[in-house]
Structure 1
């Protein structure tokens, strides 16, 4: 598999383990149009790669991914029709993660926010540095959590807890996230690489076909939930892209002031 087409994802395959690194460290790995497009295709390519049995997903530098690029959000406000591509890619990101038959491990080396959190939480097993925080603050920028957050959070921690964190956008420490079952493990930052490496090799050395088929079986109900809700979720997010509150939140962020929401 030729991964040279990827500019903002770094892919390394070593002894049947593929490590995918979100590689915008100077921007805390926030997602812009190019990275969003790449995320919409990488998991399909990994599925096709016969030299890969296990995938590790992580971020370069201090963050896993700090969410969406605010300048990209402004572009979508200025040109609402451009959000059509974003909407289609958002669905492909979620469903390609679910359709990837090989186990994918999230190595959350730093904050995972918004879409960054969604991608991490749709992975199969999630290890996070104790220094990391996880949250989905779509509402903080007047946006619907429609790119998968409204689907995966309730599956992991129940509806009441999920709605609390999706309504407020509050970030959770990795320790709290592990205690409530949102992620699997919170580990000391200095131990994260070794823990993930050990677990990835354990899966690689296991009965990979049985592991793969077990993932497929386990994901059936989750895929049903995603198919039932994704179209409506992303449609509501598309509507919120044109809302006055979203435009105000993006302007306030860029102007370094507090947003004044009016429910419009």
Structure 2
């Protein structure tokens, strides 16, 4: 059974972490498979939005500890970070297509931080997020110390990482950690409706917006204004801009094609 499954429907690629028997915790095979799937989605022009979710009752419980405690299987933390998690995070941020984390169950450790690296995070009300690293003597990785303070502020992020407190979906929404909570009984349908909506939006403009959001973490105001100007000129030359303006004038729904 493959540790990653992907389905493509109406411009949406749904990538599912598929090790439900271990709460979709990562081993080397799954980490490398996820990287390959993200690369495929990036290069496939038919894919205009991506959903990342988990099979079974969990989104992702982080690292499979059986792997790192096995003398035969343990790749070592240097390899785990440099070859597993860091490339996943950089791919999520570099792909110029919207990525939705559909958190369907517990998201712990690296699993939580992979979700937080996505463009939009939704969860149902029974979900919890846990910065579980301190509970086993480790530090937050997978971009957690980068994204979480920017999402919820230094003090809250510091406390959650040091204490390892469990955060409910409702609390996560209130903190600004995630976009919104969706009732569990309509979760899958609402996620797909959101993803299909995004797949019909001007993909090129969304990708450039994502590029701007990435660089605003380190740019000065002057640098950001300059880059906004450069990308706005590029966006104004796109087919989707022409279609959007024409549709607005004609008072109809635009038919964006993604370029």
TM-score bracket, shorter-length normalisation: 0.7 to 0.9
Taking only aligned residues, the RMSD between alpha carbons, in angstroms, comes to: 2.0
For 1:158, the equivalent position in structure 2 comes to 153
Q: Choose 1 or 2 for highest CA Rg.
A: 2
- Which deviations, in whole Å up to 9, do the C-alpha atoms of 1:201-250 show, x marking residues without a partner? 211122222222212222223488xxxxxxxxxxxxxxxxxxxxxxxxxx
Deviations 1:148-191 (A, max 9, x none): 11111101001110000000111100000001100011121111
TM-score norm. by structure 2 comes to 0.79
Query: In the alignment, what sits opposite 1:83?
Result: 77
1:1-264 equivalence runs, <5 A: 7-75=2-70, 82-89=76-83, 90-222=85-217
Of residues 32-41 and 102-111 in structure 1, the stretch that sits farther from structure 2 once superposed is 32-41
Compared CA separation, residues 73 and 198, structure 1 to 2 (3 A): same
Q: Cα offset for 1:123?
A: 0.6
Q: Is the 8 A contact 2:67 2:74 kept in 1?
A: no
Following superposition, the deviation at residue 37 of structure 1 comes to 2.1
Q: CA deviation at 1:73?
A: 2.3
Name stretches of at least 5 consecutive residues in structure 1 with no aligned partner.
1-5, 225-264
Runs of at least 5 residues in structure 2 that lack an aligned partner in the other structure: 220-259
By relative contact order (CA 8 Å, sep 6+), the higher-ranking structure is: 1
TM-score normalised to the size of structure 1?
0.77
Q: Is the 8 A contact 1:136 1:145 kept in 2?
A: yes
